Chains A and B, each alone.
Chain A
Amino acid sequence: MSEHNKIGCGKFEALLQDYSNGELPRPDAEKLTAHLEDCRECREALEDARLAGRLVSVFQKTDDPSAMFTRRVMAQIDAAERWMREQRSFWRPIEALSWRLAFSAALALALLFTYSFRTPSPVTAPAASAVLVPQTDAFAVPISAPPSTGDEVLMAIAEKHHERY
């Protein structure tokens, strides 16, 4: 085999596949035929490909599906759809109930949170106002802070009343 052929063999690899199947366009086929005359390696490769093709042909083309094939497929699809419908009809009331329960629970939780955020805690509110306004007298109600408990409201009213008279 000449050096020229050795270099060229790689590019013929993909072409040999088409050549062995008779699918190579004429100009390329002629070039490859000329190459094959000189190149023993490519000739052997082609011979191998044909031998393998012959061996694999033992598997033959798969028989066409039976006449009932389409009907069987559609029957299977029909059965699968019916099963899915049945499943849906069985689970639907349970699903609806569980959605209602989930909605009620979410609503209750939302109400609970709103209530707990809106209503100030009786312990924390005076403490906060005590921090803002330093006091010397524990019983004196700071004027700037709005009364937060019932007692404070009463004391504020009493104080106002006392100032008036």
Chain B
Amino acid sequence: MTITINGESHPLPRDPRTSLLDYVRDHLGLTGSKKGCDHGQCGACTMIVNGRRINGCLTLAVMHDGDSVTTIEGIGTMAAPSAMQKAFLDHDGYQCGYCTPGQICSATALLDEIAAGWPSDDSDDLTARVEATDAEIRERMSGNLCRCGAYANILAAIREVAGAAA
């Protein structure tokens, strides 16, 4: 029973109540992922599991035997930030920074979803190529709240990276 977090294998916790979020924060000391609401409403705990972004608070670590998880610590480092992390810095895509790891994990997965042609509630045509318009990005980021209200700059950061990827 092991789980891979940012490329390293770890044993699963003994107490089945341990959420994936509590596991990475409290058991592994990876405190980048944040606990906001703990009910899947704020997105501060967003992490990428087997390539898909999920709420780390609403899943049990024991359910992830054999899974591969990327948290914000696996996205980039201070010395080598990812393109999305750089864009958040360049555009001031935060104020207090608490929601930022979840925002960046979410936005990183969003790039893959758009590349895969996944439609959203905002898409006029379910089968057309997805354009990373502001409205599309807003809809796709609705699971990540920012109580400081840095949305305009978060949008600008994601627009820059998504536009460059298109």
* A interacts with B: no
* A residues apposed to B, CB below 8 Å: none
